[in-house]
Amino acid sequence: MARRIAIVEDESAIRENYADVLRKQGYEVQTFANRREAMRAFDLRLPNLAIIDIGLENEIDGGFTLCQSLRSMSETLPIIFLTARDNDFDTVSGLRMGADDYLTKDISLPHLSARIAALFRRQDALNLPTSPENLLQRDNLVLDIGRLTVQWDGTPVPLTVTEFWMVHALVKFPGHVKSRQVLMQESKIFVDGSTITSHVKRIRRKFIQVDAAFDCIETVYGMGYRWNTTMTTASPES
């Protein structure tokens, strides 16, 4: 049975362009121009994944409201924000409301498709036993590449798909500096340097919520970031 994807986007040309590409890939796609239409459909049947813009017709933050409603209906439904709003406040707000990823509309369609496939793969893999060959361990850190999950000292760290691949890029070669451009390429996003900085800040905060002493992500000023398995001094967030 085909996966069902809901697209909630008030610009018809953009909405249908996304829908056309995803239908050609074998997905069943529902499209909605506003939050009210989407909620009427979701009350009857939830999709397998939702792609949501933030501004929806006359509701400047309608996508945020919709995300909260969806997350209250299902804790596991994959939700992607796809929006032109790329400021840090909106990104943090969207992720705190329960979205699995936050992408800007300058992302290419192949990369959007890859992100959707990754979310479905992660959802499917959560019900499967962990495969040892998919594990990458660095001291207290364990990455499950098959399930796209992260644990720190045995405690899950709730990273988005984008954040997972950024951490993966850093921990593959501890001590090696990764530039913002490399992190962008390996996490398959195309944003400015300040957005990469914001992602790193959120990743740090999520690890610190699990372990207040976490300090493995070091800022190398003018160059990028590196993962240090043992650090004596942590660089300030930036």
Q: What is the pTM of this model?
A: 0.66
pLDDT at 126: 65
d(CA 15, CA 66): 17
Any idea what the Cα angle at residue 122 is, between residues 6 and 124, rounded to 5°? 85
Report how far apart, in Å, the C-alpha atoms of 35 and of each of 32, 67, 164, 188 are.
8, 10, 29, 29
Q: Which two tokens stand for residue 29?
A: 């796609």
pLDDT at 210: 94
pLDDT at 236: 46
Q: What is the dihedral of CA 224, 158, 79, 225, to 10 degrees?
A: 0
Neighbours of 213 (CB within 10 A): 7
* C-alpha atoms less than 13 angstroms from C-alpha of 124 in its C-beta half-sphere: 9
Neighbours of 10 (CB within 10 A): 18
Beta bridge partners of 79: 50
Could you list the pLDDT tens digit for every one of the 238 residues in the chain? 789 999 999 999 999 999 999 999 999 999 999 999 999 999 999 999 999 999 999 999 999 999 999 988 987 788 999 998 877 788 778 877 878 888 888 888 888 898 898 888 777 766 666 677 788 998 899 999 877 889 999 999 988 777 888 899 999 989 999 998 888 777 766 556 667 787 888 899 999 999 999 999 999 998 999 998 765 444 445 5
Closest CA to 100 of 84, 85, 121: 121
DSSP state string for 102-120: EEETTS-HHHHHHHHHHHH
**What are residue 89's phi and psi, to 5 degrees?**
-60, -45
